A = this chain, B = another copy of it.
Amino acid sequence: MSGGLVIAGLGPGDDALVTPEVSAALERATDVIGYIPYVARVADRPGLVKHASDNRVEIDRAQLALSLAAEGARVVVVSSGDPGVFAMASAVFEAVEAGPVAWRALDIRVLPGITAMLAAAARVGAPLGHDFCAINLSDNLKPWAVIDRRLRLALEADFAIALYNPRSAARPEGFARTLELLREACKPERVMIFARAVSTPEEDLRVVALGEAAPGMADMRTVVLIGSSATRIIARDGTPLVYTPRSVPV
A residues contacting B by CB (< 8 A) are 11, 14-21, 24, 58, 82-86, 89-94, 96-97, 104-105, 108-115, 118-119, 121-123, 125-136, 141-143, 146, 149-150, 153-154, 156-159, 232, 234-237, 241, 243-248, 250
Contacts and interface: CB of A to CB of B under 8 A. Distances in A.
Contacts of A16: 19-21, 24
Nearest to A110: B122
Contact of A19 (B91, B114, B131): B114
Contacts of A156: 153
A14 B157 CA distance: 34
Given A133-B133, A150-B159, A236-B104, A245 B125 contact: no
Nearest to A108: B241
21 contacts: A16-B24, A20-B20, A82-B122, A84-B127, A84-B129, A85-B128, A89-B125, A90-B129, A90-B130, A92-B126, A93-B241, A104-B234, A105-B237, A112-B118, A112-B122, A131-B135, A131-B136, A132-B133, A132-B134, A141-B246, A142-B248
A134 B159 CA distance: 9
A130 to B, nearest CB: 7
Given A131-B134, A157-B157, 10 more contacts: A18-B20, A20-B20, A84-B121, A84-B126, A86-B130, A90-B243, A97-B232, A110-B122, A132-B133, A133-B159
